[in-house]
Amino acid sequence: MDFRFDNSCIAIAVALLLGAVPQTARSQTMEERLQRGDAVVRSLNNGAPQPALERMRQEFPFLAGATQGYALGDVWSRPGLDGRTRQLAAVAVFAAMGETAFMKIHAGYALNIGVSEQELKEVIYMVTVPAGFPRAIAASQTLSELFTERRAAPGKQP
């Protein structure tokens, strides 16, 4: 017998085996989850796809599909929090973890949906308590880079 699975089948199988997908998501098709994930990204990224996700899709299509289907399509699209709260939480968590590249992406999304520079700075100040000054300082440097890039972009506001 010749069994062939595409990446979406593999992603669902792995998630089901690990129990990572809520029961409600299990009844949805992978295509529906991917569409929801794409809608989340576009709502945060001024209607455009996420460049890092698209680059990942070229060499790591399974990981990109899992990110889009589960992280964005299942988790990020849940109704329990508004977009501002989700982005502020993501910025805080990534800053506390020392994951400044991810923090920068989510800080950009936060700015896109109306979070102010000052609010992002306050999140970084909060990071000093649970995560320490080195992580907060690294996060502040990354935010400064983002603010500078956005101020320099033609027609863009920070």
What's the angle, vertex CA 137, arms to CA 50 and CA 42, rounded to 5? Answer: 15
Is 34 in contact with 69 (CB distance < 8 Å)?
yes
Distance CA 107, CA 95 (A): 10
Q: Report CA dihedral (131, 77, 53, 59) to the nearest 10 degrees.
A: 110
Q: What is the pLDDT along the chain (158 residues), one digit of tens a residue?
A: 444 445 544 555 445 444 555 555 455 799 999 999 999 999 999 999 999 999 999 999 999 999 999 999 999 999 999 999 999 999 999 999 999 999 999 999 999 999 999 999 999 999 999 999 999 999 999 999 999 999 998 876 54
What is the predicted pLDDT for the residue at 17?
44
Q: How long, in residues, is the chain?
A: 158
Is 69 in contact with 57 (CB distance < 8 Å)?
no
Distance CA 46, CA 153 (A): 15
What is the predicted pLDDT for the residue at 154?
81
pTM of the model: 0.76
What is the predicted pLDDT for the residue at 27?
56
